[in-house]
A and B are shown apart, each in its own frame.
Chain A
Amino acid sequence: MEILGTVIGVVVKSLIFIVGMFLAAAYLTLIERKFAGHVQQRPGPLHVGFHGLLQPIADALKVLTKEDIVPANVDRVLFYLASLLAFVPAIMILAVIPFGEPFTLFGIEIKPYITDLNVGLILALAFGSISIYGVIFAGWASNSKYPMIGGLRKAAVLIGYEVALGFAMVGPLMMAGSFSLREIVAAQDGFFGAFIWYQPIAFIVILFAILAETGRTPFDVQEAEAELVSGYNTEYSGMKFGLFPLAEWYIGTFVLSAIAVILFFGGWKGPQIFGFLSPFIWFFLKVAMMFMFFLWVHWTLPRYRVDQITEIAWKVMLPLSLLNIFITAIIILIKG
């Protein structure tokens, strides 16, 4: 009986997280389009609802009712699997992100996270690496030139930043002494306890790595609509297509922003000025700031060439992250 209760609890909580993430992602598309519009001095979505407020719903319905075209000579299994492989790992990172400490509401203890594993950060890193298969499979399975080139480019970008990202995370890990994202937040006390003050190099490397992993502009060579039509998802249509930007641009950017906030900005910590809701408000404020930063970069900067991107990853980011480990180790040794 008790097991059944736990199962139902976990299922309900997971559903809330996933559906919540979908709704959030839908409205993140609106935020991005509005933001992009104003960056480029145009209004963005304006006509569906008040200032485009119903636009995400219209878009969702449109994507769901578009014809599901599968070109004749694709690898059908991989073609469908690719959109799932892009989407599922991206949303799986959400399972290890804590949104706050457990609290009691109406006598029930509520934990605002799915699991608090002692390998949380490694799992996040692992799921982040799996999601690259979605893009590569999409490129391969499409059996068309532009997707193929897009998928290969994405692989080139990711194998560089994967390494830099892994090494950059070592710095905060040494400070916190745990893989558990909750304990990493617990290790950051007060305003000047946030790891951003101690790990600026790691933060910069991780910013670059997140931009590369989520395919945002200075590193969006896999899409590169000016040269590759739409890159790896050229042959996709309908919901198969919809899952790609949803996973990469919205869910991916959101969860990786959340990881960055947990690692460097003290997660949900902040002055208790909003009552019992303040941890959530602080967390979402910080994540929103990170997300807006990525949007800002995306809609401002031009695109690098793919060979320049990989050279930055291997010749700048990797030595920087190794240097950061060295500096962190020495500082911890001196200060104890």
Chain B
Amino acid sequence: MAPVNSQRTIDERHTTHVKPPSGFPTLELGEVWRNRDIVLILAVRDIKVRYKQSFAGISWAIIQPLLTMIVFTAVFAGVVEVTTHDAPYPLFSLAALVPWSYFVHAITKATSCLVTDQNLITRVYFPRLVLPISAVVGGLVDFFIAFALLVILLVIYGSAPTLKILLLPFFLLFTILTALALSLWLSAINVQYRDVNNALPFFSQVLMFVSPVAYPASSIPEKWQLLYALNPMATVINGFRWALLENQPGPGIYSLVSVAVVLIALFGGLYFFRWQEDRFADVV
């Protein structure tokens, strides 16, 4: 037997227990935090890979919301008139499209992340939560590029920012949490049922119609507002418009419903993900 090196100190934290899955899962968020390097490295990898061998490169982050804005403006400001509370329609729609594009991009990326990286899951151990978190965090680069476009448009229209803009980070955080909450469920289910990935484009299209992307949330009758707030993206978009544009109705009392929905979906999603996690390597 080789001699024991007594200089070596072993951290209690590094003790690994291998045991069958049992009972209610624990979240182990501390372990995810200790592996935050992997979150960043995977996010950077995805960004690098996405824009390699691409002519337009990172400007795709601008092209998509910009073109959608132009189409929306042509339809909803030209053909069918939509009330925008006096905001120019391009600004009105882009203020919604920037968080919306991020949201759709993040959940699309996150849904397939466990399948895309199945060679990692079946061959290396690391907290699996790192993968959807990385997908959701990585999308922020696109968000900030698209947001820069929005800022330019605000300047062009001479729309001066008010103090309300200071609350924008909270609405961004809420967008991230909404995307993460949904991603945890979708990614874990997608491991076993790839149907999720096929249904997702349709699902996000429908979700766009029930979100105030092209029209103002105020056009929904009062008696439906509570139901409408069950969709947290309604609150996200209201919040972005309110913080960036003038004369927009702010997020009301119903926003609390959205917050509750997201918190429940987030913690439910974390537990669901952890419950399913043990089988990822065997099932994927």
Q: Is chain B found bound to chain A in the same assembly?
A: no
